[in-house]
Amino acid sequence: MKITALAGGVGAARFLTGLARIVKPEDLTVIINTGDDINLFGLHISPDIDIVTYTLAGIVDEAKGWGIKDDTFHALTTLKTLGVDTWFNLGDRDLATHIYRTNRLRQGATLTEVTDEIRIKLGLKTCLLPMSNDHFETKIKTPQGTMHFEEYFVKHQCKPQFLAAEFDGQATAKPAPGVLDALSDADLVIVCPSNPVVSVGTILSIAGVRDALLRTKARVVAVSPIVAGATIKGPADKMLNGLGIEVSAFGVAQFYADFLDAIVIDSRDAAEQTRIAKLGLAVKVTNTVMKTFDDKVALATAVLQA
Amino acid sequence: MKITALAGGVGAARFLTGLARIVKPEDLTVIINTGDDINLFGLHISPDIDIVTYTLAGIVDEAKGWGIKDDTFHALTTLKTLGVDTWFNLGDRDLATHIYRTNRLRQGATLTEVTDEIRIKLGLKTCLLPMSNDHFETKIKTPQGTMHFEEYFVKHQCKPQFLAAEFDGQATAKPAPGVLDALSDADLVIVCPSNPVVSVGTILSIAGVRDALLRTKARVVAVSPIVAGATIKGPADKMLNGLGIEVSAFGVAQFYADFLDAIVIDSRDAAEQTRIAKLGLAVKVTNTVMKTFDDKVALATAVLQA
């Protein structure tokens, strides 16, 4: 069974480690959001690609959900000494990835190629695809101004009021090679428990992606990132609310309803089952909060059953 | 008294720490070799500028003579995991300098400007000038092929036979702003105990530099990097030999004779004093091997007296 997953960062990565345990890693393709990509100190940083790669490779800093475990921050501290605004945390080991990627991109490699090179070096068999190799930048409109998603998320810790998400480059960004085929050829498409607006929404905004999801013969199953009216991590609840979407598993189901066949929701949201079913979707109720590795495997199993 | 020094890496940097103790740092200008500059992993590395900067700032790894003390090498180790050939050692703290420099250069700053920015952030009052802001690459011709100086020096540890030094870009490289003025306006010009061929020789090869040295009203004093027929560090002896130049304090004096007024030689080479004097040069004999900080100060004092 060929599976394609749409993924953002931490939530998706955690879910995918469970999934990778119960399916053949080589049967799994992950399409990853690149809207958070940012250039800092001249380095091309792909936060979501790195989180998914590091997590699947078992080298992620589990507590943080990003970066490499046991990393040091000596380069960043020194950059600060040199007067650089170092609001984005980059460990020394992590920096190697960004140095490598930036150098390969400057040499003319595509983000797809670089992502694949890193995946292979880290011994992963799962296919990791950036959603696009073209410029795409998620910006958050707030009363304090419009800022890059990572500035909103990391520098300002999601404190400014969310007014809207803007996708710079969306009109011209093409899906990366393999993205549309991975959706068309899959037996199962999984929308990971990621931010529907700025993680999955960005992927859905790429020309051809939504259409491929509507046409695919694959069953399309989402995992709701909203549990009991809130997110486990990140600003998805604030953003859905800001967009006038109900902050609930039902709201998520409705957001994806046009291409979705089933949704996995948390036991705490079991009461929403009937409303979601009325959207014409199958609903699977289970524990979706992944605290342990067993939680991740159990959730992945539930998704395969949905 | 305004002093301008011509400098390569470790030997020059050690000497300059002594000099900076006995003269006002702000009266000192150092013109630094950039022939060793190399692009690795997309980063612009200026080995001699960094050695001089770190040494004067008191943050150099004293034992190695390069890099920052107590540095870690996590990024480099990770780059190796990613398949990168990591023959050039770059510590994590050191990497910050290269990331900063590369980014500033890409933003359009000159190497002069970046060098000055780093100097200021590290609290140095001594003016540090790259010899040129233009492409200049020292290549070493060997029976195994022609290679970048750092490849010859670090990767191959000076083992291949030295046939010749080639200065890529020498014909078009202009002196960086301030370089010629620093030579013309100085009261004393010091040629540091650096490699005459690939550290000082590169600076001398820049259009206008040799002429400025011939015309300057300043007294021009060199410190011989050759002691008892050999170098303290580095391949200057092999190179002088390969070029058919006598590997001795006399050989160095002769190499610089056209613009030199005086040379400081080691006590072990006292016998060469008469031969050197016949070149029309004043000779100062003293201990030139800098083991302690006091050695450095004593040598600097001897140079001021020469």
- What digits encode the pLDDT tens for the residues A81-116? 999 999 999 999 999 999 999 999 999 999 999 999
Locate all alpha helices (DSSP H) within B154-246, ordered by sequence.
Answer: 179-184, 201-205, 209-215, 236-242
Whether B278 is in a domain gets the answer yes
Whether B163 is in a domain gets the answer no
* CA nearest neighbour of A8 among A194, A184, A164: A194
The per-residue pLDDT for range B97-149, each reduced to its tens digit, is: 999 999 999 999 999 999 999 999 999 999 999 999 999 999 999 999 999 99
Beta bridge partners of A137: A168
The per-residue pLDDT for range B207-234, each reduced to its tens digit, is: 999 999 999 999 999 999 999 999 988 8
Whether B75 sits inside 8 A of A118 (CB atoms) is no
| Domain around A253 | 3-139+170-305
SS3 B223: strand
Whether A77 is in a domain gets the answer yes
Average pLDDT score over residue span A58-81: 96
Which residue among B74, B81, B103 sits closest to A42, beta carbon to beta carbon?
B103
Whether B111 is in a domain gets the answer yes
The per-residue pLDDT for range A164-174, each reduced to its tens digit, is: 999 999 999 99
Judged by CB atoms within 8 Å, which residues 230-269 of A form the interface with B? none
Torsions phi, psi for A43 (to 5 deg): -105, 140
Q: Tell me, what CATH number does A210's domain have?
A: 3.40.50.10680
Whether B245 is in a domain gets the answer yes
Q: Do residues B210 and B161 make contact, with C-beta atoms less than 8 angstroms apart?
A: no
Which residue among A75, A79, A122 sits closest to B75, beta carbon to beta carbon?
A75
Edge-to-edge strands of the sheet including A219-223?
Answer: A127-130, A28-32, A3-7, A188-191, A219-223, A262-266, A282-286
SS3 A302: helix
The verdict on A113 touching B (C-beta cutoff 8 Å) is: no
End-to-end CA distance of chain A: 15
Handedness of CA B22, B24, B26, B29 (dihedral sign): negative
Which pairing describes strands A262-266 and A219-223: parallel, antiparallel, or unpaired?
parallel
DSSP state of A152: I
Whether A75 sits inside 8 A of B96 (CB atoms) is yes
pLDDT of A233: 84
* CA nearest neighbour of A173 among A197, A196, A207, A210: A207
Q: Do residues A212 and A131 make contact, with C-beta atoms less than 8 angstroms apart?
A: no
Q: Do residues B98 and B129 make contact, with C-beta atoms less than 8 angstroms apart?
A: no
The verdict on B39 touching A (C-beta cutoff 8 Å) is: no
Whether A157 is in a domain gets the answer no
Structure ipTM: 0.93
Model pTM score: 0.95
Provide the shortest C-alpha distance from residue A73 to chain B (in Å). Answer: 8
Whether B225 is in a domain gets the answer yes
CA distance A40 to A275: 45
SS3 B6: strand
pLDDT of B7: 98
> CA geometry: angle at B164 spanning B163 and B170, to 5°?
165
The verdict on B106 touching A (C-beta cutoff 8 Å) is: yes
The per-residue pLDDT for range B155-192, each reduced to its tens digit, is: 999 999 999 999 999 999 999 999 999 999 999 999 99
Number of domain units in chain B: 1
SS3 A148: strand
Whether A152 is in a domain gets the answer no
Whether B93 sits inside 8 A of A71 (CB atoms) is no
* CA nearest neighbour of A25 among A100, A122, A111: A122
Q: Considering only CB atoms, which chain B residues are within 8 Å of A83?
A: 117, 121
Q: Do residues B290 and B226 make contact, with C-beta atoms less than 8 angstroms apart?
A: no
Answer whether residue A161 shows pLDDT above 90: yes
